[in-house]
Amino acid sequence: MAVIPSALEITRDIVRMDTRNPPGREIECATYLGNLLSGAGIEVNYYEFAKDRTSLVARLKGEGDKPAICFGGHIDVVPLGTKDWTVDPFGAEIKDGKLYGRGSTDMKAGIAAFVHTALKLANEGRKGKADMVMAICAGEETGCEGSFHLAEVDALGEAGCVVICEPTSNYPMIGHKGALWLRVETKGKTSHGSMPEQGDNAIYKAARSVSKLEDFDFNIAPHELLGKSTLNVGMFNGGLNLNSVPDHSEFTIDIRTLPDQNREKLLDGIKGYLGAENKVESLVNVGGVHTPHEDPWIQDVYQVMEALLDEPIEPRGAPYFTDAAAIKPACGHPPTIIIGPGEMKMAHQTDEYCPVDHIDQAVEIYETLTRRWCGL
């Protein structure tokens, strides 16, 4: 039997790789993981949506005709922020039972856990009733570019269930909201600040629009699990200097949508609500996902997790969006669970960390789910 690296070792290796998005450059991390998997006899294919923006799809093949179990996640990470870190953000240092580093929680530990699981199962040499597919994606943090590219080139195929390994403290989540991110631009006419009547102030136009958005009504009932759609104005910029009337202003809108919400209709509604003096551009448009907790496979996952966590499982949803927005429809809309190591509150934080024991537990979860699905 070959010696395979532990999930912790894999996590530390890939945390040390700088995949901050922008610019991304996931190629080094994707190649490292691809070499591990192909070295174990697992089929690996690489997909680039832009130079060095590399995703991969790996397939541990079974012998039956049962559709695959698909694991998914991303290898890009967010920037470090302006606050100083007390540890090397790419040092993968372990102290007090925590693995520190950018991407340790979001979500390289989850990637490492299912890669280790695949290596372990491949090392056994047994053939299950279904394939184990792994979608390791670039570009999730800025709108799931990598996973949507995999969907576009039909790289995934049908799956019977999907496991997205984002941080949930290893608690199963059965849905998440979508995201519609917009940039709104207003234009005016510049003039000297002492003669504002000769100009047309673009900031005033933008300010009126921002004020209107406080009262925007989505006119849609809350979701049974995920609650209400939300809207936030996150950035506002305008003007070039203090003593001129600004001829340009822009702001951004972060809308979190419900799984069945028509985002194109919502976009048209926002445009009509703000009026013609606002130019509205869509930056990110990804859907939410939800699998009813009554689904048989979800109930099977709950049974597994009740035994592992020693507590009853209740339906929960995640507040962030994930690659499930692209992977679930690409695989034929199978039941989908979000479950992975790391604490949600640590995602995107300074001194990000993942508890080491979460990683070991995630391996146990992924291995159990795969064995049950594939009949191993």
Q: How many CB atoms lie within 10 A of CB 245?
A: 22
Name, in order, each residue with C-beta under 8 angstroms of 125's C-beta and a sequence gap of 6 or more. none
204 and 135 together in one domain: no
Instruction: Quote the CA–CA distance of 35 and 288 in Å, as a whole number.
Output: 33
The answer to whether the CB of 108 falls within 8 A of the CB of 15 is: yes
Are 83 and 149 within one domain? yes
CATH number at residue 117: 3.40.630.10
CATH number at residue 234: 3.30.70.360
Distance CA 326, CA 338 (A): 14
Beta strands 94-95; 98-100: pairing state: antiparallel
Report how many domains make up the chain.
Answer: 2
pLDDT in tens, the chain (376 residues): 678 999 999 999 999 999 999 999 999 999 999 999 999 999 999 999 999 999 999 999 999 999 999 999 999 999 999 999 999 999 999 999 999 999 999 999 999 999 999 999 999 999 999 999 999 999 999 999 999 999 999 999 999 999 999 999 999 999 999 999 999 999 999 999 999 999 999 999 999 999 999 999 999 999 999 999 999 999 999 999 999 999 999 999 999 999 999 999 999 999 999 999 999 999 999 999 999 999 999 999 999 999 999 999 999 999 899 999 999 999 999 999 999 999 999 999 999 999 999 999 999 999 999 999 999 9
CA–CA separation, 3 vs 11, rounded Å?
17
Q: Could you give the residue ranges of the DSSP H alpha helices within 220-355?
A: 263-274, 296-309, 324-330
Residues 18 and 107 in one domain: yes
What b/e sequence results for 212-221 when a residue is b if at least 16 CB atoms lie within 10 Å of its CB, and e otherwise? ebeeeebeee
Domain end point (choices 224, 256, 286): 286
> Could you tell me if 232 and 357 lie in one domain?
no
Alpha helices in the chain (DSSP H): 7-15, 27-39, 109-124, 145-152, 202-213, 263-274, 296-309, 324-330, 356-374
pLDDT confidence of residue 2: 78
Q: Is residue 359 part of a domain?
A: yes
Contact 163, 71 (CB under 8 A): yes
Domain end, chosen from 256, 286, 316, is at: 286
Say whether both 184 and 113 belong to one domain. no
Q: Are residues 83 and 192 in the same domain?
A: no
DSSP class of 223: B
Evaluate whether residue 210 is within a structural domain: yes
In 3D, which of 366, 360, 364, 368 has the Cα closest to residue 8? 360
Q: Is residue 1 part of a domain?
A: no
Domain hosting residue 341, numbered range? 7-176+288-374
Task: Verify that 167 and 191 share a domain, yes or no.
Answer: no
> Do 85 and 167 share a structural domain?
yes
d(CA 196, CA 263): 39
pLDDT at 147: 98
Pair 295, 265 in one domain? no
Same domain as 81, residue 189: no
Residue 332 CA to residue 256 CA, distance in Å, equals 24
Q: Alpha helices, DSSP H only, in 162-315? A: 202-213, 263-274, 296-309
**Using DSSP, how many helices (H) and how many strands (E) does the chain show?**
9, 15
Instruction: For residue 67, give the H/E element and its range.
Output: strand 66-74
Same domain, 182 and 165: no
What pLDDT shows up at residue 1?
63
Among 247, 262, 286, the domain boundary falls at: 286
Same domain, 366 and 220: no
Question: Has residue 2 been placed in a domain?
Answer: no
